[in-house]
Amino acid sequence: MIAYLVRRCLGVAGVLFAICAVTFVIFYLLPADPAAAACGKTCSPERLAEVRHYMGLDQPVWRRFADYLVGIFAGRDLGTGPHALHCGFPCLGYSYENALPVWDLLMDRLPVSASLALGAACMWLVLGLGAGVTAALKKGGLLDRTLMVGAVATASLPVYFTAVVLIYALVRVGGLLPYPTYTPLTADPMGWAANLLLPWTALALLYAAMYARQSRSSMIEAMDQPFIRTARAKGMPGRVVVAKHGLRSAMMPVLTIFGMDLGALLAGAVITESVFGIPGVGRLFYDALQRSDQPVVLGVTLLAAFFIVVANVVIDLLYAVVDPRARS
């Protein structure tokens, strides 16, 4: 088990390194010139060269990449001369826009995105798995068909459409909920939930529909297995058969997808956050792009990759604990 863990951690490091390298090369080779942007419109060539040197843009790509990597683990000094800044561990550089450390910006926004993602995840798991398993157990019936037609229709609605309809129905006309503005959980738990209810619902509806479809088909497959027949034959009550044997094997494929989805959302649901104006990581990313703030863009991409990869490993570890065959 320890060897397995070590192997997985090395794999994670490799994947993150590769993602970091690809992102770095792409963003730093693309035409946008941050030095020109930082220097302003009336910038003499000498001054531009100075700014480029200060920002380290005159270095070759591999050199800048190496500095960046070292910075993440050991911190580094940015800039030269009297204006040098020390950037401590974990250094992801400074924002070109407001000269704040990227790491602090990310950590500032992370609770917002995490609130959105985790709350929505709870909602869609309950809704999606509930609908999917119910449909699977009543396979072919009216309830099954109704649920599945609803699921396929909901899954076809983009989240920005659902969001607008929800705002219109529940806020503008219904007046049931406040227009979403983020309130920290620690400051006001009720306000936190009330404000996030709308974004949660918009996001959760889409995912719930997808999970309902997925869990229905894997539940049907599971209930077809010989061990279910064996369990029934030995006289186990139907409810226990479903809960103990059916659900358990049906949830395996759903768990894999869940890990990926949650990982991707933790580092910002870009569309949902921009529609509702929630100040999360996705919003930070979107704003940074508008101003070609490359260190922030790179930071968010790395954070997102980190969450996806870690979620993957956690899911695999859960597998390995449950099922010894998965350890090889």
The label of the residue with tokens 């419109």 reads 41
* CB closer to other proteins out of 114 and 183: 114
Q: In the structure encoding, which two tokens stand for residue 241, read together?
A: 């058969």
The minimum distance between CB 260 and other proteins, in angstroms, equals: 7
* Contact in structure between 171 and 177 (CB atoms under 8 Å): yes
Nearer to other proteins, 195 or 301 (CB): 301
Q: Give CA–CA dist 88/79, Å, rounded.
A: 14
The minimum distance between CB 96 and other proteins, in angstroms, equals 13
CB 286, min distance to other proteins, A: 7
Nearer to other proteins, 32 or 61 (CB): 32
Looking at beta carbons, which pairs linking 277-283 to residues 24 or more positions away fall under 8 Å? 277/180, 277/181, 278/112, 278/116, 278/180, 278/182, 278/199, 279/109, 279/112, 279/182, 280/109, 280/110, 280/112, 280/113, 280/116, 280/182, 281/106, 281/109, 281/110, 281/112, 281/113, 282/113, 283/109
Instruction: Render 279-328 in DSSP notation, one character per residue.
Output: -SHHHHHHHHHHTT-HHHHHHHHHHHHHHHHHHHHHHHHHHHHH-GGGG-
Closest CB 239 distance from other proteins, rounded Å: 26
CB of 327 to other proteins, least distance (A): 17
* Nearest residue (CB) to other proteins, 19 versus 69: 19
| Residue at token pair 């103990």 | 244
Judged by CB, which is closer to other proteins: 110, or 304? 304
Taking only Cα atoms into account, the Rg of the chain, rounded to an integer number of angstroms, comes to: 24
Contact (CB, 8 A) for 181 and 195: yes
Question: Are the C-beta atoms of residues 282 and 266 closer than 8 Å to each other?
Answer: no
Comparing CB distances to other proteins, the nearer of 76 and 163 is 163
CB of 152 to other proteins, least distance (A): 6
Minimal distance in Å, beta carbon 160 to other proteins? 6
Give the relative orientation of helices 2-29 and 294-322 as an angle to the nearest 10 degrees.
160
Please identify, using beta-carbon distances, which residue of 76 and 144 lies nearer to other proteins.
Answer: 144
Nearer to other proteins, 115 or 301 (CB): 301
- Cβ nearer to other proteins, comparing 158 with 324: 158
Residues at the interface with other proteins (CB under 8 A): 15, 18-19, 22-23, 26-27, 30-32, 152-153, 155-158, 160-161, 164, 168, 172, 217, 221, 253, 260, 264, 267-268, 270-271, 274-275, 285-286, 289-290, 292, 297, 300-301, 304-305, 308-309, 312
Dihedral (Cα; 133, 136, 138, 141), 10-degree rounding: 130
> Which has the closest alpha carbon to 29: 79, 75, 65, 80?
65
- Distance of alpha carbon 67 from its chain centroid, rounded? 27
Minimal distance, residue 50 CB to other proteins, in Å:
24
Least Cβ distance, residue 200 to other proteins (angstroms): 19
